Amino acid sequence: MTTLTEPVSQTRSLVASRLRVVLFCDIMDGTQQRFLDAYEQLRHQVAAVPGHVSDQLCQSIEDPSQWLITSEWESAKPFLAWVDSEAHREMVKPLHGCVRDTRSLRYNIMRETAGNETFDGPAPVTDGTVRHALTFKVKPGSERAVAEILAGYSSPQARVDDHTRLLRTSLFMRGNRVVRAVEVAGDLAAALRHVAQQPEVRAVEEAINPYLEEARDLNNPESARSFFMRAALPAVHHVARPGRMAGDVTRYAVSYPVRSGCGAALADLLAGQDQQAVADPDGVIAAATLFQREDVVVRVVDLPADREHAPAAVLGVAGDRSAGLFARLVELGGHDLGDNAGIARFVTECRMDLVTDRSSKDA
């Protein structure tokens, strides 16, 4: 259990806890048999996915149009690798014509009792904040126009409902890649739906549509669903120093040039480095969050403003051994990480530009 003297940590990749996925489905009238036929085909396909343990299909005894699909996975990693894949998008297409609405919830299994057998999972997250990011690319040459559009939007209302509130939105760009990181107190799905429905946000999304590398139509439910699935960049680790650091804190983001197939390994390495950094009384990191999907790895880090020239802290690598491991997982492009000057040059190439950073008090 996290105490007041321990750094707050939220992790997916370091702890291989089993995962429970709950999918609520609202089925259109007259499509029940079509839904059952599609599920019958889908469940055999999903059973062959590495990491899948089991699943169940349940129907509400109060409203026959309400269905529940639950599944168990060996850990979050294989599930997220599958759910973010093109194969998953193709598998679930037969369900789109009969499902009015869905809501997906993912839970690490923390405690389990079966007869006399008990299971204790990892320590629960206790800071109450949900972190998530979206990432997409715009057409080369349009970066300045896109940055101006994204910097000029009006913030939506922070309050979503009695249980959910938008806390902070940080938007970064590096080259033609855009990353929008959000922090939410409460229900992430409710917050994202709330934001998507706000007229000021919709106006910005429509304005950047012509510049996107991959076309989308947010007025088309299937196109919007496909876009947000492709753009999802889940938080895999978060850690924060207990208490507050004196003075102002500056937020940075780094997009790492990952070698093919090394995204998960790099995220694990950086998570371990950040865990050590916030436990070090002399460390300079106030907080760090890792976002990762396949080989897209983005790290958002908060440092005291007077330590902005701490390139190793911005990069998340300290010590010869970790630098050696890091070099095997990323494309260094000829850079030498043997000293601060070399690290600083590499950070300059990887660091993302902060387009906007707004907390709820700004909304």
Asked whether 181 and 253 are in contact (CB, 8 A), the reply is yes
For the stretch 41-77, pLDDT in tens is 999 999 999 999 999 999 999 898 999 999 999 988 8
Residue 5 has pLDDT above 50, yes or no: no
pLDDT at 349: 92
Range 235-355 has CATH code 3.30.565.10 = no
Note the pLDDT of residue 318. 79
What pLDDT is attached to residue 193? 77
CATH topology of domain 19-109: Alpha-Beta Plaits (3.30.70)
A 10 A CB-CB count for 8 gives 18
Q: Determine the pLDDT at residue 302.
A: 92
- Tell me if residue 49 falls in helix, strand or coil: coil
| pLDDT tens track for 157-205 | 778 887 888 888 999 999 999 999 999 888 777 777 777 777 888 888 8
Tokens found for residue 136: 């997409």
Banded pLDDT at 288 (limits 50, 70, 90): very high
What helix, strand, coil percent values describe the chain, rounded to 5?
Answer: 35, 35, 30
Mean pLDDT across 213-238: 81
Say what percent of the chain tops pLDDT 70: 89
pTM exceeding 0.85: no
Q: Minimum mean pLDDT among 63-67, 222-226, 254-258: which range?
A: 222-226
- Check residue 301 and give its pLDDT: 94
- The amino acid at residue 330 is V
Handedness of CA 113, 116, 119, 125 (dihedral sign): positive
Question: 363 or 95: whose pLDDT is higher?
Answer: 95
Same fold, 19-109 and 129-233+358-362: yes
226 pLDDT exceeds 80?
A: no
Domain segments of the chain: what residues? 19-109, 129-233+358-362, 235-355
Question: Can you give the pLDDT at residue 76?
Answer: 82
* pLDDT at 307 exceeding the cut of 70: no
What does the alpha-carbon distance between residue 249 and residue 301 come to, in Å, rounded to a whole number?
A: 10
**Exposed / middle / buried, residue 354 (Cβ in 10 Å: 0-12, 13-18, 19+):** middle
Q: Which tens digits make up the pLDDT trace of 86-97?
A: 888 888 888 888
Pick the more confident residue, 287 or 109.
Answer: 287
pLDDT of residue 204: 87
Looking at 3.30.428.10, 3.40.50.410, 3.30.70.100, 3.40.50.620, the CATH number of the domain 129-233+358-362 comes to: 3.30.70.100
Residue 139 has pLDDT above 70, yes or no: yes
